[in-house]
Amino acid sequence: MNYLFELSKEHKTIPTSEVLSCLEAEKKYFEIADSNPNILIINTRHNKMINNAAERLSHSYYINEFLFSCKISIDKIKNSAKTKQIKQKGSIAIKYRNRSKKNNSQPILKALAEIYTKDRKVILDKPDIEIRVIITDSNIYVGKKLFEINRTQFEERKVQNRPFFSPISLHPKIARSIVNLSTIKKGQVLIDPFCGTGGIILEAGLIGLNVIGSDIEKKMIDGCRITLNHYKIENYKLFNSDIGDIHKHIKPVDAVVTDLPYGKSTTTKGEEKNQLYQRAFENISYILKNNCKAVIGISNIELLTIGEKYMTLIEVHDIRVHRSLTRYFVVYQK
C-alpha cells in the first residue's frame, strides 16, 4: 500500500529525514515511491509501522492513503480520480493545501468534487471520508486521510509552560524531531548527557522510550525530575555527572541525543569549548552501542570533524534557533 505524507516545509531537510527515520526504527521493509519538499510517498505492507510513525512525527501534517498524482490538467485530474474511486460508504469532504504560486485551486477542487462527491453527502466538519489534495506548481497529490499529526501539543510543552523553566531550551518540535532522527524504537534506551531543562528526554519519554538524563549542574537534574514527573514519564533515570564520568553510571545505550553547550561559562564550567567537545564525542561514542546513532547539536559546522574521529557522519541539519544562532544537528553512527 502507498502512503502519502504531507510535509510541513518548516525546514528544508528535517521533515523528510524524520519520516524516514521513524520508519527505519521499525526495522520493516518499505520503499520510497516519490519525494519532494512537499510530500513523501512510501510503499509498504506493514500498516502498523505507519501507525507508529503517526504517534511520533513533529514535522508532518497528515498521513494519507495515497490515491494518485498527476500533472495539473483538469482532464488528467478527472481521469485519474475515476480510476481511484472510494469504496468506503459515508459523507465526504475535499480539503487542500495549495503550495503553488501559479495554480488556482478552485478548478482543481471542482474537478475532484465532480468525481468524489457524486451521490455522497458533503460535510466539511468531521466527515466520514476526508480527501486530501496537495497542489504544487506542476502536480497534484491526492490521498484519503488516515492520521492528522497532533502539532498543537508541541506548543503546549514550550519551556515557559513547563514546571521547570530556563530560557535556554529547544522548541519541543525540534527536540522531538532529533529524537526521531536517532532511529530509536519504542522501549529502547536513550540518553541526553547534557540534558539541561530536560526537553529532549521529555519528548523521548512521551513516545515510549526509556530515558536517561545527565548534567553537570545539579539544579538541572532536580528540575528535570520535576518536569518528567509532571508529564507522568515513568521509565527514567537522572544523575549528576561530568561527561567524562557518565560511563560509570550506565550500560551502553541505543541512542544518544543531545544539544552540546555552546560556550557560556555557566554551561561549560569555564572549560574551553573544543576541549569539552573532544571529551563529549569520545565519551558519547564509548556509551553508544555498535550500529546505533547519536544526534548531536553543535554551534559551529567546523566542529563536525571532532565527531568523525569517533563515529561515522550520516547527515547534517542546520536549524536557526534564534536570529543570531544557528545550530547544526549532526547524525552519527557508531
Domain CATH number, residue 324: 3.40.50.150
Same domain, 113 and 173: no
pLDDT at 133: 98
Kindly state whether residues 100 and 197 are assigned to the same domain.
no
**Closest to 211 in 3D by CA, of 229, 245, 237, 241:** 237
Q: Of 148, 164, 193, which closes a domain?
A: 148
End of a domain among 95, 124, 148? Answer: 148
Residues 166 and 303 in one domain: yes
Task: Verify that 165 and 314 share a domain, yes or no.
Answer: yes
CA 269, 275, 277: angle at the middle one, nearest 5?
Answer: 90
Judgement on whether residues 138 and 169 belong to the same structural domain of the protein:
no
Round to whole Å and give the CA distance between 257 and 269: 21
Same domain membership, residue 122 and residue 17:
yes
Regarding whether 213 and 198 lie in a shared domain, the answer is yes
Domain count, the chain: 2
Q: Which residue has the cell 532511529?
A: 183
162 and 302 housed in the same domain: yes
Residue ranges making up the domain that contains 60: 2-148
Task: Assess whether 144 and 157 both reside in one domain.
Answer: no
What is residue 266's predicted lDDT score, i.e. its pLDDT? Answer: 44
120 and 196 inside one domain? no
Same domain, 127 and 176: no
Name the grid cell of 4: 502519502
Per-residue confidence in pLDDT tens, the chain, 334 aa: 999 999 999 999 999 999 999 999 999 999 999 999 999 999 999 999 999 999 999 999 999 999 999 999 999 999 999 999 999 999 999 999 999 999 999 999 999 999 999 999 999 999 999 999 999 999 999 999 999 999 999 999 998 999 987 777 889 999 999 999 999 999 999 999 999 999 999 999 999 999 999 999 999 999 999 999 999 999 999 999 999 999 999 999 999 999 998 755 445 566 788 889 999 999 999 999 999 999 999 988 888 999 999 999 999 999 887 777 788 999 999 9
Q: What is the CATH number of the domain that holds 44?
A: 3.30.2130.30
Question: Residue 214 and residue 14: Cα distance in Å, rounded?
Answer: 26
User: What's the sign of the alpha-carbon dihedral 63, 67, 71, 77?
Assistant: negative
Alpha-carbon dihedral angle through residues 224, 187, 234, 220, given to the nearest 10 degrees: -10
131 and 187 fall within a common domain: no
Residue at which a domain ends, from 112, 132, 148: 148
Measured CA to CA, the distance from residue 203 to residue 233 in angstroms comes to 10
Sign, CA torsion 300/301/303/304? positive
